[in-house]
């Protein structure tokens, strides 16, 4: 298995002060329906920011507006200090984009692909250094259509950072990869962040967001409903503890913010008795996420 080398080997920009992404009141409509509805967002330079949300929540539309490939209907957007809707070639050289799949250059070798796309950048990364950084130096002579899913994804990232971007957008970066390839890919992304690249990624994998992101934002119904570090997402929702036990052959369950007091009350009824199958569970990231994106009726928005 190819080992991914540390990404700081790449000649990437060092983090600087200020926000990489600033969004205020973003709106995008399709057929009169607001897919993005008054969204506010800030992403700091040098951080990994993950956007979470169900299908149709507005994640991809938001990212495409930030990338400058889709027009907005209202709101203010600044990416690396400029409006993506009117930014020129110099700005685009500072931004890298890795979509869900490229499908380009299948008949070329890995090295030929890297050399081909280098021509589109004013100051591209050195090809040997780039392939070494993403762990593809041993497959430089392999045709792209012969690569595994994980290898192809690493090539797509190599092309995304080839122009030395300050900001990298990743759309569902590990969809379809096996667990081992996902872990390798995570190491690559962490290395890019350590090298100074700001990263905005969308993902459906909550464990991926928890592992990689400095902060996560949850989009639901076209709005950003919460932004926080993964361990703090949900705020007060994380204080709601589920106490479950068996009593008279039936499973009992109570949700409380004071589990110690509840247990004392339960034991006070029969101090010498037992509470069969007793468990005390705090909500994890998945539990909190599902609560944040649910409608009042409990459906996913």
Question: For 119-177, what is each residue's pLDDT tens digit?
Answer: 888 888 889 988 888 889 899 999 999 998 888 888 988 888 888 899 999 988 888 77
CB 35 within 8 A of CB 184: no
pLDDT for position 270:
63
Residues 36, 216: contact at Cβ < 8 Å? no
Would the pTM of this model clear 0.95, i.e. be above it? no
CA neighbor of 113 nearest in space, from 144, 138, 135, 154: 144
Q: Torsions phi, psi of 103, nearest 5?
A: 70, 15
pLDDT at position 252 is 86
Tell me if 10 sits within 8 A of 168, measured CB to CB: no
Task: Pinpoint the alpha helices (H) of the chain.
Answer: 59-67, 89-92, 110-118, 127-133, 149-160, 179-194, 206-212, 259-269, 285-293
- Cβ neighbors of 20 (< 8 A, separation 6 or more) are 43, 44, 45, 79, 80, 166, 167, 198
How close are the terminal C-alpha atoms of the chain, in Å? 41
pLDDT at 115: 92
CATH of span 7-232: 3.40.50.300
Question: Above 60 in pLDDT, residue 281?
Answer: yes
Span 173-198, pLDDT tens digits? 888 778 888 888 888 889 889 888 99
């Amino acid at each position: 298995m190819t080992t991914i080398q540390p990404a700081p080997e790449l000649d990437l920009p060092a983090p600087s002060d200020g926000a990489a992404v600033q969004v205020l009141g973003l709106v995008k409509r399709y057929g009169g329906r607001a897919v993005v509805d008054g969204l506010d967002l800030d992403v700091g330079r040098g951080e990994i920011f993950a956007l979470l949300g169900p299908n149709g929540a507005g994640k991809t539309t938001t990212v495409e507006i930030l990338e400058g490939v889709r027009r907005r209907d209202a709101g203010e957007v600044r990416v690396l200090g400029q409006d993506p809707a009117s930014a020129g070639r110099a700005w685009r050289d500072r931004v890298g984009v890795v979509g869900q799949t490229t499908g380009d250059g299948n008949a070329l070798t890995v090295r030929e692909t890297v050399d081909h796309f280098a021509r589109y950048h004013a100051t591209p990364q050195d090809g040997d250094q780039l392939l070494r950084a993403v762990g593809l130096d041993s497959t430089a002579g392999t045709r792209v259509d012969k690569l595994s899913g994980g290898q192809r994804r690493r090539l797509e990232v190599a092309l995304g950072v080839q122009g030395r971007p300050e900001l990298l957008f990743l759309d569902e970066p590990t969809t379809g990869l096996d667990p081992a390839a996902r872990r390798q890919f995570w190491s690559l992304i962490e290395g890019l962040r350590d090298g100074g690249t700001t990263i905005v990624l969308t993902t459906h994998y909550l464990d991926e967001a928890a592992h990689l992101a400095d902060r996560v934002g949850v989009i639901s119904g076209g709005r950003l409903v919460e932004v926080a570090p993964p361990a703090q997402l949900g705020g007060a929702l994380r204080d709601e503890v589920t106490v479950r036990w068996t009593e008279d052959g039936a499973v009992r369950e109570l949700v409380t913010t004071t589990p110690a007091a509840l247990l004392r009350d339960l034991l006070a009824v029969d101090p010498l008795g037992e509470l069969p199958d007793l468990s005390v569970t705090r909500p994890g990231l998945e539990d909190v996420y599902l609560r944040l994106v649910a409608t009042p009726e409990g459906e996913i928005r």
